[in-house]
Amino acid sequence: MVNMATEDSVTFDPDLPDVYGDAQPKQLLRTIIEEHEQLQTLANRHVISSGQFSRDVMLQLFRLAAKFECNPERFNSPLAGKLLISAFYEPSTRTRLSFESAWHRLGGDIMSIADRSTTGIAKGESYADVAEMFNNYGDCVVLRDSDPEAVYQMARSLRIPIINAGNGIMEHPTQALADVYTILKWRPELLTDDAKPIRIGVVGVPKRMRTVRSLLTLLSQFSDIIEELVVISDRPAKTAFADGQLEALEEAGLNVRLSNELDGELPELDVVYINAIAWVKNAREVMGNAFRLDDQSPLKEGAIILHPLARGPELDVSLDTTPHNWYFAQARGAVFVRKALLTCMTQRTERVMDVV
């Protein structure tokens, strides 16, 4: 066989829009009123945990993200002269490139560590010493490490901001920001006074999954627009949640219920968040096969599916071409959310504000 690229295989349509175009971010942009000073609170601060973000700060971040998404070519140099250290001691192409794309799109330069094996950390150097080195070399650090303590240990020695891009099973705050951004982009009217609250299902184990943990913490600040949040897993509350985790969510006003049955919940859920992968140190712990979505699942009409990706068998490709697929929009939006956050953390917000 002589392999030949057919005309069809080599052409593409660059204008194929994102799943739901830019009408959505435009509406979100109109819905939130700009409050510059909220974003200034992000200056000179690390981003380690979802618990750091107030609702007001989140909304301003989402407004800025929506502004970037409505007009990706604009604001292409607010980070000119700024240097990012992209340190993925736990390798992750997807998250690394999402951050690096965001930084490059803002006009900054990058130094990458894509692999732990060749670093001083692997030879026993302390995180504090590595942080001292980073102080001399860059203007911001993005860190992923399978050790939950690494980001805390670096933060203590840093004089430049660090972002936690996943610390073991504990947190992944920027992923959670992207998740909430997607929900609000999908339905900006949730932020208006007469909004009808939604029901959200989260498939996963809050105790063991960093993306789920961070997401629940952020959602607890939006309890007024969430009628109920159903955590769906094969575990009882005792092992599904960490000590005090459920109580903290409920105290924040979130109406949380635990379920061990996915298909029974689906017909009543507006948003289904699924992520079958839990990180246990460097290994993966997968939930039972009971929790799978495909185009035969009894999804509510108009419901959207979110997934932090990469996916496993829990999310069937048959859903990709359905209107339930908002996970691609979610990945796309993550770059704009990160652009917004990075702009604030490096104190360049005044270069992208409408009014200063």
Under rule CB under 8 A, residue 252 binds a second copy: no
Which residue, 104 or 300, is less far from a second copy as judged by CB? 104
Choice from 16, 33, 283, 356 touching a second copy (CB under 8 A): 16
Contact 121, 154 (CB under 8 A): no
Under rule CB under 8 A, residue 275 binds a second copy: no
Which residue, 128 or 280, is less far from a second copy as judged by CB? 128
Subset of residues 322 to 341 that bind a second copy, contact rule: CB under 8 A:
328, 331-332, 334-335
Choice from 10, 283, 355, 356 touching a second copy (CB under 8 A): 10
Residue keyed to tokens 């000179």: 44
Choice from 100, 179, 265, 270 touching a second copy (CB under 8 A): 100
Contact 207, 240 (CB under 8 A): yes
Under rule CB under 8 A, residue 280 binds a second copy: no
Choice from 33, 123, 193, 356 touching a second copy (CB under 8 A): 123
Subset of residues 41 to 80 that bind a second copy, contact rule: CB under 8 A:
44-49, 51-52, 73, 76
Per-residue burial over 314-335, b = 16 or more CB atoms within 10 Å of its CB, e = otherwise: bbeeebeeeebbbbebbbbbbb
Under rule CB under 8 A, residue 311 binds a second copy: yes
Contacts of 333 (CB under 8 A, 6+ apart): 25, 65, 69, 178, 181, 182, 185
Do the strands 256-259 and 226-232 form a parallel or antiparallel pair, or are they unpaired? parallel
Bridge partners, residue 141, by sequence? 85, 162
**10 Å Cβ neighbour count for 189?**
14
Subset of residues 19 to 38 that bind a second copy, contact rule: CB under 8 A:
none
Considering just the CA atoms, what is the radius of gyration of the chain in Å?
20
Subset of residues 217 to 236 that bind a second copy, contact rule: CB under 8 A:
none
Under rule CB under 8 A, residue 11 binds a second copy: yes
Which residue, 20 or 328, is less far from a second copy as judged by CB? 328
Under rule CB under 8 A, residue 351 binds a second copy: no
Contact 152, 142 (CB under 8 A): no
